[in-house]
Structure 1
């Protein structure tokens, strides 16, 4: 019990160091203000109690086994023959690796889905674009309402700027506005919830939205026409986008159809969307830089900040790169990926410790058998195979148990996404292969050590 307690205290010290590293790794997930504070004595009391309980629990099972040992076996150094149930140890190994396998599959598939989310074609361009908003106070001040358009014209003249567009929001954003619009067609009147985006004539070119039919919007102080997406065209009954051009949606004509683009994260399906031009509601600056390197971006951004200060001297300048805004939509998935990766590492490490202990125990118990085999000419490779095959069977059993559980869990998680990866067999095969490789690396050290042992020592008469 005393030795176990000392080891537990040592493990607690190591755990504190690892916990500080985990807090740094999970910095974006841990709420602000949460930290390890070593100035509070309550922390040390808590750790001491945990160490005592851990030592008690860890020492109980070995203590019970030792109390049952035969003194004769103990004096003959044959305690391994009565050191508890081998079946229980195998069950524990299978359980540990099954849990580790679930986490390995989870880490692989969460990472795969996250890469899919980040790299998917959203229907628009997102690189080298900076966005910022007109100050609310100025936007509703009639004396300065035109200042934003003057500022946009000044930004257009900068050498590092390719295009500038004014809109009420970017193609994809957390905020959105909907209207119920009526369309009268062959099937009568339809009422459709439509996501509306207000933008100037440069908007589609700046973001690379593809016009598949009709023309672009014309400049207008008030809404006079619509460009709709393909989803809305199909909703009102036109499989061919060009056929929708010229028809009236609500009270305004449809002058063009744009390829579908995502206006929200990939958790959501693409919804009917309409673009229109209404000058008074354009309050978001969308600036595309010329692609000539990060240094040029910084220089141009500094020039824009100067122009901003001249226009709005009392307002802060808060620019944001558009690709960062897109990435932020999946912050929850990034955090989950970090947690799963950390949990996977911990689960695999604990499983390897258990497997290493069982291999060591087995090698010690079969010392004389290994010695006899070596005397009879068995090679090191054959002995390593002998010691490893039983454990590999346990790992394969763990993989078979974990696979349906992991599939169910990942499939349940992916149901939250309208657009997602396909769960394929090779992903589970790769996770199983990783588990086998990790197990082989864990087993090989002790197995090779036992195989290289001098048979004279193992067969020495007691």
Structure 2
């Protein structure tokens, strides 16, 4: 019996080539899209689960409220948490803390040459780091972290520095002048490269002599690992007492500091804190893509149901004969099921071919590598096969039920109009497809408009044509034989300004697009300290003009203030932004001019600063984040981290060559690197941009599959109405009237689908746009345009079919009928 089902199913599909081709193509594309999206979803949702007992690992986060208003919600925390939290919260098995820095690393290779690189992912860790996290060691042991001045390299960095030779036991140097880092370290171990699905993305681990831990500065990331069986809620309930024990004496009754435990497995997709250690994904995006995958597969099967229902006219006599000879409904359902199942498996074969062809493009689009895991993991294939079998069964159920419910005597007499119920169901399925297509088109336009808005909106600072060069290190240059470092810095600037295509050179401790981690406990003179830490930005006098930042009140730094001790009043000048005016409690920007704020160092010594100007707010980070209160100091040479060089739009390549030449002349041993500031700033929108591209590609596939279904429906509808159309043509009907005859029903369905899609899209987009603090409004032009696009597609498909029918001889159609 099974063999008979398969044989008849195969003959039926082979006989109806157009029907089979349309369905197999739609299913193949749908399954391929599902495979790609499932791989993407698995990768994104699998972050940090490779650690042993990852469900027990949590990050300690920090938030701060002032007057019941949340002013900070940060992934970073106090450096004292790592050493103390295990003592006060017994549920914690082990705790660790780490600090991330940009450093110049250098080592001597086997040829005696000094090789140096700027590494942005250097982690300074304590001895417990590898007790919390699982990063496999290739050579060496994790106990090396207990030895001061040791370093562990990832395999990639080891090869980058030493090639294929074993570097364990060798020494190397790490320098970050502005952070006071100047270390000679022994390489103790080599680690496997950090997996792509890790939110910790270090290239090396450094352990040094323990520094004094602080409850004053927020400068590290703290993690804990609980004992198995721990109820995290119980541990969380002890955090307020823990905070009060160490920070109670510093509380002013206004500021409220809170700590929380955040599961490490949720960080990548569901953490939206400031000062994240790496760029996170977006959980809503990921699950929305899974929804699109489901919709694509549903559309493919809806095509099958629609075409099967219409095609049932051709199989009426076959079903009538089967019923007459005693065939039961169950047998008919099984026959249709096997036909659908064969289509599905052919679709899988087509999907595998498509995956192999477009694998590279998918990896470039998503950054997800399609590995053997994709082909062999039962977590992907078993659900997919189950889904295909279920889809095959459900998609075959309705056509089989529809045909088997007819009176076999009436069928054999040729009386088989598909009743109103069949027509209604088919129209509902067509409307469903159009709703999805119109909604996806609206979503695509809105997503791109939001991304364009974020990238083009005036953020208060002009970054165009600015090239950033990381500044060299004084200590590094001095150790390598450099002399007169500060004179060389001025020489570097002067050399660049001699070149006509370089319009300006500024230096600063930071650049737009990065967190301002240099924070100081400023307060208004003679005011009570609220335990508030304010971002500090050290800039050269040229910075304000070069980036075209507006002035609200007072004046800005100028070249006569090259030294912070040259102010006429003898006070150190500072600037603040508009957000700083509010944060310090000044009534207005004008009234802040001439006022003083103070800063206290670790020894209790107080420093006084005079506010000489207030500048306009600008977005230091992306538009997703709120404006940050910033204190601007005049750089004195020791705080320079970056040079920003504004170049003319012509001859950019020659300008870069001139910058590199001058840099190497003045700083011969420091690595030269550069990047364009605007591109660097827009990297913050990488996740959004990636989502926009992925959404567009797969939305396009869904629309294409809908078009396949529309083509099939039009094709079979024209076949069904061939005699009617032929008679109309003989009687003088025009091509336009025939087109109208075929399309009018579809137009009604598209208008109905549009009404529903508009409501669904409006609700969905409102939910999505709420994730942006700066956002566009709902543009209803996109709604109308999406409907017009679908109508145009329908006209093109049906118009092409109408033109084809018009070319045929009507007498042939009448005779065949």
User: For the superposition of Structure 1 and Structure 2, which TM-score range results when normalised by the shorter chain?
Assistant: 0.7 to 0.9
Secondary structure class of the residue paired with 1:396: helix
Shift of 1:110: 0.6
In structure 2, the partner of 1:335 is 690
In structure 1, the partner of 2:510 is 169
| 1:210 maps to 2:550 | yes
| 1:116 maps to 2:443 | no
| 1:88 maps to 2:428 | no
When structure 1 is superposed on structure 2, of 156-165 and 251-260 the one drifting more is 156-165
Secondary structure class of the residue paired with 2:610: strand
In structure 2, the partner of 1:438 is 793
Cα contact 1:169–1:197 (8 A) shared by 2:
yes
- 5+ residue gaps, structure 1, are none
Shift of 1:226: 1.8
1:221 and 1:146 map into 2 onto residues whose CA distance is 20
1 or 2, which has the higher helix percentage? 1
2:426 and 2:666 map into 1 onto residues whose CA distance is 69
Shift of 1:56: 6.3
Shift of 1:246: 1.7
In structure 2, the partner of 1:299 is 657
When structure 1 is superposed on structure 2, of 150-159 and 81-90 the one drifting more is 81-90
2:662 and 2:350 map into 1 onto residues whose CA distance is 50
Shift of 1:204: 1.5
Query: Residues 311-359 of structure 1, C-alpha deviation per residue, up to 9 Å, x if partnerless?
Result: 42xxx43322111111101001101101110121111012112222222
Query: Residues 287-333 of structure 1, C-alpha deviation per residue, up to 9 Å, x if partnerless?
Result: 22344323323422431553476142xxx433221111111010011
Secondary structure class of the residue paired with 2:467: strand
| 1:156 maps to 2:494 | yes
Quick one: structure 1 residues 444 and 403, their matched pair in 2 at CA, closer, same or farther if it must change by over 3 Å? Answer: same
In structure 2, the partner of 1:401 is 756
Which of these residues, 635, 639, 650, is aligned with residue 281 of structure 1? 639
| 1:19 maps to 2:355 | yes
Secondary structure class of the residue paired with 1:216: coil
Cα contact 2:432–2:753 (8 A) shared by 1:
yes
Give the TM-score, by structure 1 length: 0.83
Cα contact 1:178–1:196 (8 A) shared by 2:
yes
- 5+ residue gaps, structure 2, are 1-8, 14-338, 566-570, 599-607
Shift of 1:30: 3.7
| 1:219 maps to 2:555 | no
1:73 and 1:152 map into 2 onto residues whose CA distance is 98
Secondary structure class of the residue paired with 2:553: strand
2:384 and 2:535 map into 1 onto residues whose CA distance is 59
When structure 1 is superposed on structure 2, of 103-112 and 406-415 the one drifting more is 406-415
In structure 1, the partner of 2:469 is 132
Secondary structure class of the residue paired with 1:281: coil
Residues paired across the two proteins, number: 455
When structure 1 is superposed on structure 2, of 378-387 and 287-296 the one drifting more is 287-296
1:38 and 1:176 map into 2 onto residues whose CA distance is 40
Quick one: structure 1 residues 450 and 86, their matched pair in 2 at CA, closer, same or farther if it must change by over 3 Å? Answer: farther
Describe how 1:60-71 pairs up with structure 2 within 5 A.
Answer: 61-63=398-400, 65=402
In structure 2, the partner of 1:101 is 438
When structure 1 is superposed on structure 2, of 284-293 and 407-416 the one drifting more is 284-293
Describe how 1:276-425 pairs up with structure 2 within 5 A.
Answer: 276-279=633-636, 280-304=638-662, 306-307=664-665, 310-312=668-670, 316-425=671-780
When structure 1 is superposed on structure 2, of 90-99 and 243-252 the one drifting more is 243-252
Which of these residues, 239, 258, 262, is aligned with residue 615 of structure 2? 258
Give the TM-score, by structure 2 length: 0.49
Quick one: structure 1 residues 347 and 41, their matched pair in 2 at CA, closer, same or farther if it must change by over 3 Å? Answer: closer
1:328 and 1:411 map into 2 onto residues whose CA distance is 25
Cα contact 2:516–2:535 (8 A) shared by 1:
no
2:643 and 2:767 map into 1 onto residues whose CA distance is 40
Which of these residues, 567, 576, 580, is aligned with residue 228 of structure 1? 576
| 1:201 maps to 2:523 | no
Cα contact 1:231–1:271 (8 A) shared by 2:
yes
| 1:455 maps to 2:795 | no
1 or 2, which has the higher strand percentage? 2
Quick one: structure 1 residues 106 and 336, their matched pair in 2 at CA, closer, same or farther if it must change by over 3 Å? Answer: same
Cα contact 1:156–1:162 (8 A) shared by 2:
no
2:477 and 2:431 map into 1 onto residues whose CA distance is 66
2:805 and 2:458 map into 1 onto residues whose CA distance is 55
- Provide the alpha-carbon RMSD of the alignment: 3.8
